[in-house]
Copies of this chain bind each other. A is one copy, B any other.
């Protein structure tokens, strides 16, 4: 077939991470490359019991087609949890269950973006969002991410000059940087956005995984009418169900339901019912506490090793939650060059490149600490440090 594909597919970057993950199948490699939750913390028995209960008591029902919006009691659980934890004034009617946050991104791109529309995104930004949204437009405008959150001057410039329809953010323990926006930064962003015809996407898969510091205010609290909040069971229960959700203003939600129906009718119902049963019968807060304690220890182990082994002119973030931290190498070192040598030394990470829209051969990289134990973290960081040393000299 000649020239038969749609133009939109030309913009889509191949997934960099997938390629790297293929390389790191070698069991001798200590990998900080993935973005996986730690499977040792999956509540396997509790989920099995939830599944058995549902099959025994509602088998025919959970195997049938269901509603596009999702299982009402599960949506109610999500709404109530936001009311309780984040003081949000929402109900189940504001919640749509999706096949992971990733699907929410695809639906939002479909719903909002003509090919000449602009979207604003953090720099560095989550590559899954770049991949999902680049199907719909190639007009990404980046706003620099600083220690406090978005660079407000850059944001204002982008808003004024390009009128983006969407601003994509991960305000808590951002992927890839681990940065959390301060409340003050959030308030200023909210004030700015109020003056524009724009929706803010608050992608928050890690928000509950705070192991240090104080909880932050949600954009959904600050500018509810302009915020589309995404959440996921992947990091607090398990990703194998591919279940997440969108909380959006009424009109947006109705349109998302139409888009979702065309995309896959509804999210897998068996999984929705099992997860509902799991959260009903178990103490989700206690389960999340276990995850946070583990990830917190592993993050501390990584920071301690970095302090001990990395050359002094390497910079890094020190996240208060989530799964990633971000390393900035001395200017003359390319992370792409480093990864090849690191893999030879049996350690892996994700070079910064796929997290940028239009920068190449950057000197930044992402390290994941959720999936390795403390000893292999020390050993891996030691290997990485010696690889960096060789390039510095």
Contacts and interface: CB of A to CB of B under 8 A. Distances in A.
Interface of A: 1-2, 4-9, 12, 14-15, 18, 36-37, 39-40, 42, 44-45, 47-48, 51-52, 55-56, 59-66, 68, 98-100, 102-103, 105-106, 110-114, 117, 128, 131-132, 134-136, 165, 197-199, 226, 234, 238-243, 251, 255, 258-259, 261-271, 274
B199 A4 contact: yes
A180 to B, nearest CB: 24
Given A12-B258, A36-B65, A64-B36, A114 B18 contact: no
B59 A44 contact: yes
A9 B8 CA distance: 16
Contacts of A4: 112, 165, 197, 199
A113 B115 CA distance: 13
Given A36-B65, A37-B64, 18 more contacts: A1-B198, A15-B261, A36-B64, A39-B64, A40-B60, A47-B55, A47-B59, A48-B56, A63-B241, A64-B239, A65-B240, A66-B240, A102-B262, A103-B263, A106-B262, A241-B269, A243-B268, A270-B274
A132 B39 contact: no
B197 A1 contact: yes
Nearest to A254: B14
Chain B CB count within 10 A is highest, among A1, A100, A111, for: A1
Contacts of A61: 39
Given A42-B59, A52-B48, A60-B42, A8 B265 contact: no
Contact of A271 (B234, B264, B270): B270
B9 A258 contact: yes
Contacts of A134: 262
Contact of A60 (B44, B55, B64, B197): B44
Contacts of A267: 99, 242
A182 to B, nearest CB: 27
Contacts of A51: 48, 51-52, 55
Contact of A266 (B8, B39, B242): B242
A271 B242 CA distance: 10
A48 B251 CA distance: 39
Contact of A111 (B5, B15, B60, B265): B5
Nearest to A267: B242
Contacts of A102: 262-265
A111 B42 contact: no
Contacts of A6: 110-114, 117, 136
Contacts of A111: 5-6, 9
Contacts of A242: 264-269
